[in-house]
Structure 1
Amino acid sequence: MTRPWTTPCETHGWIVDLFTLGCQLDRLTWGVEKQDVTAALASSSRFSRKTFSHDASADSGHVAPEPRTGLLSSLIHLGVLSMKFAVQSLWSVLLLLVATTAWAQVATSYQLRHGDVLTVSVWKEEALRMEVRVLPDGSITFPLAGRVEVAGLTTPQAEERIASKIRKFIPEAAVTVAVTGIEGSRVYVLGKVIQPGPVTLMSPSTTVLQVISQARGLDRFANGNAIQVLRQTSAGTTVLPVRYDDLIRGNSLETNVVLQPGDTILVP
């Protein structure tokens, strides 16, 4: 005689097997091959034990029926896929939050430079919306505000400075400043490179190696270890040496200069 229920000990065994299977799922999520799940299912044989003989006479000659594992295996497989999808979805959301936060910090801390193109608008004032360029002296001109110096400011700071002048005429003026062009964040590559000319800095951590790669590399006759970066400072012109030939071999890493807008790279 057989009974179609399980004992508490068996139930505890199922919980242990579920925990083991969850560990296998975690490994699968991080790149382990699908065969690991199959191995985990095979090793958890107690999942398939639905019935067992309760008859005290073991020599009765009756053999317990073969367990039906198809439905249970399907349910386990579905649970594995669901858990994997949940973990991957959570990971994607975390990555999105980190990227959004980083982008917001970069956008807020960007300092306006001469040559940048801005779209300045006043809320509910269609006539007070225009595109302006930061002049070489670091200023822009906007209706009602007149000349406003914005170079070196972040966009929130520029918004407040422009609004403070407009509020003489529109007390509740709300100003928005959007950067639509970063032509002010440029460096210049001269000399024996494949494509000399200006290069726009898309990141505050752009290095000389990255800019040279944007210029399509050095000419075959260039002297890579004699490259110089010319930088204008308040004290005058500063010359920074770059040892390109050593850098591409993994040496002299300190000469891989982080560039600033206005730098000039000379390649002899």
Structure 2
Amino acid sequence: MKIFPFALLLSLPLILNGCNTMLSSTADEVSNSKSAKPTEYIVQPGDVLTISVWKEKDLQGDVSVRPDGGLNFPLVGDIMASGKTVEELRKDIAAKLGKFVPDPVVTVIVKQSLGYQIFVIGKVNKPGAFPAVRNIDVMQALSMAGGPTPFASLNNIKILRRVNGEQKAISFKYSKVEKGVDLNQNIVLQGGDVVVVP
């Protein structure tokens, strides 16, 4: 009986070292998650972009992305913008301007993200269109819509998304996500997505 406390005392540094290792690995995971690059903004029809070329006063101004996803800019002409990140669009514009302006320094800024809207319809307290100024997942969208009504069929929610001109439906079971199960259902919504709560 007297040996046990002594053995415990000898093993105490090992236990404490194990705790420190666990704490440091958890801290590493947190710091890694914080340093992860956030999803880049995808340009949508209806967005207003500010495009400027350094030292070229005639090549700057606000441009709206048309419903077909294109935009028009001096010397560049018509260019597809929708579906591209801001950086991809900036590179495309710079490449086209390179024929007329040596080494153009192009800046593209999203002035208004009017095109990035999500829609929540059906049995929610505040159905409607919601501008998405940041990444919004399904649960957040339901919260923005005031939450489901008492008669909503929570395990039959659908997200309607148009991909390459074709509409597809993505299933969402609220009760599973609410319990912390099958969380990959809680996808980040894209501009134009419609959350249907039957």
How high is the TM-score relative to the length of structure 1? Answer: 0.54
| Distance in structure 1 (CA, Å) of the matches to 2:121 and 2:127 | 5
**Which one of the candidate residues 228, 242, 246 is aligned to 2:158?**
228
Distance 2:162 2:109 in 1: 28
> Deviation of residue 264 (structure 1)?
0.9
The structure with more radius of gyration: 1
- Among 168, 178, 186, the alignment partner of 1:238 is 168
RMSD between superposed Cα atoms in Å: 3.1
Instruction: Determine which structure has the larger helix proportion and give its number.
Output: 1
1:265 Cα deviation (Å)?
Answer: 0.8
Q: Check the 8 A contact 1:112/1:150 in 2, yes or no.
A: yes
Whether 1:106 and 2:38 are equivalent positions in the alignment is yes
Alignment coverage as a number of residue pairs: 171
Question: Which has the larger displacement, 164-173 or 174-183?
Answer: 164-173
Per the alignment, residue 160 of structure 1 pairs with: 91
Q: Does 1:194 align with 2:163?
A: no
Structure number with greater CO (CA < 8 Å, separation at least 6) is 2
Q: Check the 8 A contact 1:242/1:257 in 2, yes or no.
A: no
More strand by share: 2
Query: CA offset at residue 235 of structure 1?
Result: 8.0
Check if 1:123 corresponds to 2:54: yes
Provide structure 2 residue ranges, at least 5 long, that are not aligned to the other structure.
Answer: 1-30
**Is contact 1:187-1:261 (8 Å) kept?**
yes
Matched AA of 1:233:
V
TM-score of the superposed pair, with normalisation by structure 2: 0.70
Gapped regions of structure 1 (runs ≥ 5): 1-94
The verdict on how the C-alpha distance between 1:194 and 1:175 changes in structure 2, with shifts beyond 3 A counting, is: same
Is 2:89 the counterpart of 1:140? no
CA deviation profile, 1:208-255 (whole Å, cap 9, x unmatched) = 111101111112332222221112224833222222244334455454
Instruction: Please give the alpha-carbon distance, in whole angstroms, between the structure 2 residues aligned to 1:124 and 1:181.
Output: 24
Give secondary structure in 1 for the equivalent of 2:38.
helix
Identity %: 38
Equivalent residue number for residue 7 of structure 1: none
* 1:185 maps to 2:116: yes
